[in-house]
Structure 1
């Protein structure tokens, strides 16, 4: 399999989409796949207004077709619905090439938080984008049910993983001078992440925030007593996770939340709202507390044994994630491209690994 893996989300962005795509590319060789990456690094780009970390690629279908001829892919996966994703989608349709997509981001909710655009309009646009794919991958059962209820079809399950060697319980404490307990939140500092809900909580001890983004100045003004560490990766991030007492995940819009797995792998219990993502990763496991009252959830998380959290994280591996991902691609491409005149392949025709 020579897989053209097209994504608008790429370095220097730090988010779940980039991590997932990167992990799939790393696992490809071991599964007999040659990944052919198409990212913003391949094109001139402009910073997204108000969010300079995100680059909007200046890409055309003609340029994509030119690269296509050189790369000669046998399979295509489109990870995002941005300029690169749209150009590759158009190229696939013009060539009668089957392709798969993945649904990572609640774009309608993100857009509605910034502009007066009805979510129904954005979902109609996304539904049309993904309708041309032979399979659309989603990360959790609850997201699958939600999108199916919105008219999305041919949904395929693709879970996520965590590096349990990097993210693990540790004896060291990088916060020796902060009052305990330490409540940690990790993620992009943007309005859709709902960090203000965490920072507004009346909690004992200290609040620590890891991440950066366009909302950082506003959030720091809201919570001058909180400790903002900026964006961290690798060992530095892993040490912070292991030094905290509870992980607070205030997002209402994430489709999964890889940071949930990183926290659990570090032995850190999770507090979150009972919504898509936390419900699938935490619900019923005993590794966290879900409550419409986030303060109550945060305090309840302090009573959860760290060993229980670690045990739950060990169920998630990037190896299993990659197996599902590439099995989905092979299955969907075997079905073939969507024929508009004949209608879409039935959902029953597609296997749903996992």
Structure 2
């Protein structure tokens, strides 16, 4: 498939790498989908959904968040962050990419798609720029986990004071990922929790751009960001006319086995969002786009998106 890669300079003179997947008929583009990937992965993992979107007449842009993928000077820098607020820096980078999209495609509809950490970033993003978007898609999103989230936030603050924010911490890393994986014992790999499709799990484990270790500040900022976006003020500040599609698996530990995802949907509805669709797949784990029923998941997403974009024409 036709894919163009490029970079742009962002805060702190960081070079942010991004992909652009183009449909054949440029003049008949239905809209632009901007993808925000999850923690520890990278934008190239979205090639399959980008291909499906392209066939439907959408153009797709996706950047590697800073300290991820090809937005690093070398693989040795993967996960290392020396800024002041990772969450806000990542949102700033997303905004820069949106501005590139708007410059290259004036007056085209823009859809924001976020997975996992990228869904949290996207939920914060729409409180600032949601009026410029035509739809929001959230995959593998989460409420703030009071137990592990609160413990993680306190621990990250303590470890940061002791070791400095640029250092990694094995204990904190294991708290989260071991907690997620324990739901699927006996474990075959460290990342059984992402998908029930073993081939997809093995592919992710072997990915040279997969990030396992992060600066403490990344953990701390994501946890602080997660707590903030799950406060009612964030839901209230989301544009009421923005169509929102949320999908998850009922075996996703990040979404608290569906419970946290339902809470997010409930809060959006409570805040006055007029058009919200929630889809929870039985047996699905964290990455529904890489699950055994991924074709069904893709088709459901495309059907929803096409109906919303058609309604806006």
TM-score bin, normalised by smaller chain: 0.3 to 0.5
- The TM-score with structure 2 as length reference comes to 0.42
- The TM-score with structure 1 as length reference comes to 0.38
The structure having more radius of gyration, on CA atoms, is 1
Identify, as 1 or 2, the structure richer in helix. 2
